[in-house]
Amino acid sequence: MWTGRQTLSSIESAIAKLHGEEGQLDGALRSAVGDAERLRKERSDALRELARIKLDEMTAGKLVDNLDAGERRAVQILDDYRMRIAAATERREALLKEVAAAEAERHTAAAAMEVALEAVDSLRAQAEASVQATEEWRAAKTARDAVEAIAAEAEKKATASEDELGAKKKPYDDDPLFAYLWRRRFGTSQYAGTGIARAVDRMVAEFVGFTDARPNYAALIEIPLRLREHATAKRAALEQPQGVLSEIERRAMLAAGVEAKEKTLAEARHRLAVLDDTVEKKHGLLRDVDQSRAVLVAGDSNPAYNEALSTIAAADSKDDLRTLYMEARRTPTTADEAVVRRLDDRRDHHQDGHRDHPPACGDGGAFRSTRRG
C-alpha cells in the first residue's frame, strides 16, 4: 500500500510528464505554423514569378490565344495604361507647339510695342523742344519754378526744426516731475485730477516751475508741426502752375499729332498684355499635363505592369496545378513549367509533413503523367 509521500510523488511525476508533453506540442505547433507561413510565402513568390513569365510572353506577342479571365484583364490594364500615357504625351506635344506659337506671337507684339513707344517718345521730345522756345512756356515755367522754390525752402525749414526739436526738448523730457505733469495735462482743461491728487500735483508744479515752463515746451512741439503744415501747403500750391505748364506742353504734342501714336501704343500694350496672359495659361496647362503624366509613371517605371502582374497571380492562385501546367504549355518557354513543378514539389513536401490533411490541388500523379519529356 502506497504511503502519502509516494502518492504525492507519483502525482508530481504525472504533472511533470504532462508539462513536458505540452511543451513538445507547443514546439510542434510553432514549427508547423512557421512551415506553413514559409510555404505560403514560397507559393506566393512562385505564383508571382509565373505571372511575370506569362505577362512578358503576352507583351512580347508570344501569348495571345486562349487567355483566361485574369490574363485578359491584365492585357486590358496594360492597354489602358499605354493609352493614358500616349494621350498625355500627345497632349503635351500639342501644348508645346501652342506655347511656342504663343511665345513667338508675344515676341512680335513686344517688338511692335517698343516701336510704338519709341515713336511716342520721339514725337514728345520734338514737341517739347519746340514749345520750350515759346514765350508762353517760359513764363509758365518761371512761375512754376518760383512756387517750387518757395515749397522747397519751406520743407527745408520744417526739416531743420524737426531735427532740432529732439535736442531742445530733451531737458524737459529728462525731468521726471515735469514729464509726469505734462502727461497728466496739468494746467489745461483736459486735466482730470481732484482732491488730494490735485493738491499734490499743484505742489509739484510749483516746485519745478511747471506753469512757466509748460508754454515754452508746448511752443517747442508746436513750431515744427506748423512749419510742416506750411511746407505741405506750399507743395500743394505747386499743382496749379505745374498744371499750366503741362497743359501748354500737351497742346504742343497734340498739335504735332501725338494722339494717333499714343492710341497705337495703347493698342500695342493691350495686345501684349493679352498675349502675356495667353502664354501664362498655356504654360499652366502644360504644367498640369506634366503633373498628370508624372503621376502615371511615379515610383515604378510602369505601375500598370505591377497591377497586371498581381491580377494574373491572383487568378492563378485559384487554379489547380493541372490547370497551371496546361496553361504553361501554351508558351514556347519552359520557365513557366519549371515554376509549376516547384509549386507541385512544395505541395508534395507540405503533404509529406501533414499526411492527415487532404491534397490541396488535383491528383499529383495525374499531373505528373502529363509532363513533357
User: 5 in a domain, yes or no?
Assistant: no
333, 293, 302: which is closest to 74 by C-alpha? Answer: 302
Mark whether 259 and 132 lie in a shared domain.
Answer: yes
Q: Is residue 2 part of a domain?
A: no
End-to-end CA distance of the chain: 74
Residue 95 resides in a domain: no
Does residue 80 have a pLDDT over 50?
A: yes
User: pLDDT band for position 50 (50/70/90)?
Assistant: low
Picking from 234, 184, 257, the residue whose alpha carbon sits closest to that of residue 214 is: 184
Domain identity same for 139 and 181: yes
Split into its structural domains, the chain has a count of 2
SS3 at position 187: coil
Closest CA to 40 of 306, 317, 311, 316: 317
The C-alpha atoms of residue 186 and residue 351 are separated, in whole angstroms, by 108
Same domain as 344, residue 206: no
Contact between 53 and 339 (Cβ < 8 Å): yes
Least confident residue range of 222-231, 255-264, 285-294: 285-294
Same domain (yes/no): 76, 210: no
Indicate the length of the chain as a whole number: 373
- Tell me, what's the pLDDT at 300? 52
Question: At residue 5, does pLDDT exceed 70?
Answer: no
Q: Let me know if residue 105 belongs to a domain.
A: no
What crossing angle do the helices spanning 4-59 and 69-131 adopt, rounded to 10°?
A: 60
Would you list the DSSP string of 137-156? HHHHHHHHHHHHHHHHHHHH
Quick one: average pLDDT of 100-122?
A: 94
Residues 243 and 137 in one domain: yes
User: What is the share, in percent, of the chain residues with pLDDT greater than 70?
Assistant: 59
Instruction: Out of 129-138, 183-192, 324-333, pick the least confident.
Output: 324-333
Contact (Cβ atoms closer than 8 angstroms) between residue 78 and residue 54:
no
pLDDT for res 298: 62
User: Are 159 and 226 found together in one domain?
Assistant: yes
Q: At 9, phi and psi to the nearest 5?
A: -65, -40
pLDDT, residue 189, reads: 83
Instruction: Please say whether the beta carbons of 200 and 184 come within 8 A.
Output: no
pLDDT-based confidence at 18, cuts 50/70/90?
A: low
What digits encode the pLDDT tens for the residues 322-363?
Answer: 665 555 556 666 665 566 566 666 555 555 544 444 444 444
On whether both 74 and 190 belong to a single domain, the answer is no
- pLDDT class of 7 with cuts at 50, 70, 90: low
Nearest to 165 by CA among 220, 107, 211: 220
Cβ atoms of 269 and 113 closer than 8 Å: yes
pLDDT, residue 201, reads 84
Looking at the structure, tell me whether residues 163 and 128 fall in a common domain. yes
**How far is 71 from 55, CA to CA, in rounded Å?**
8
Residue 276: the pLDDT is: 94
In a domain, 215, yes or no: yes
Q: Are residues 126 and 241 in the same domain?
A: yes
Is residue 259, in this structure, part of any structural domain at all? yes
Question: What pLDDT, on the 0 to 100 scale, is given for residue 373?
Answer: 31
- Amino acid identity of residue 322, one-letter, is R
CB atoms within 10 A of CB 357: 9
Round the average pLDDT of the chain to a whole number and report it. 76
Same domain? 158 vs 223: yes
Of residues 364 and 257, more confidence is placed in 257
Phi (first) and psi of residue 290, to 5 degrees: -60, -40
> Which of the four pLDDT bands, split at 50, 70 and 90, describes residue 82?
confident
For residue 356, what are the domain limits?
Answer: 43-84+298-369
Q: How confident is the model at residue 30 (pLDDT cuts 50, 70, 90)?
A: low
Instruction: Report if residue 172 sits inside a domain.
Output: yes
pLDDT in tens, 213-222: 888 888 888 8
Domain annotation covers residue 9: no
d(CA 181, CA 202): 9
Query: Over the stretch 59-75, which tens digit does the pLDDT of each residue have?
Result: 665 554 555 666 667 66
Instruction: Provide the pLDDT confidence category of residue 137 given band limits of 50, 70 and 90.
Output: very high
- Give the 3-state secondary structure of 302-347: CHHHHHHHHHHHHHHCCCCHHHHHHHHCCCCCCHHHHHHHHHHHHH
Q: Can you tell me whether residue 8 is helix, strand or coil?
A: helix
Amino acid at 4: G
173 falls in which pLDDT band (50, 70, 90)?
confident
Return the SS3 of 134. coil
- Say yes or no: 266 and 333 in one domain: no
> Beta-carbon neighbour count of residue 302 at 10 Å?
15
**Quick one: 129 and 219 in the same domain?**
yes
Neighbours of 324 (CB within 10 A): 22
For 215-247, letters b (16+ CB in 10 Å) and e give eebeeeeebbeebbebbeebbeebeebbebbee
Confidence of residue 106 (pLDDT cuts 50, 70, 90): very high
Assess whether pLDDT exceeds 60 at residue 310: yes
For residue 9, give the H/E element and its range.
helix 4-59
* Residue type (1 letter), 219: A
Give the lowest-confidence range in 18-32, 65-79, 126-140.
Answer: 18-32
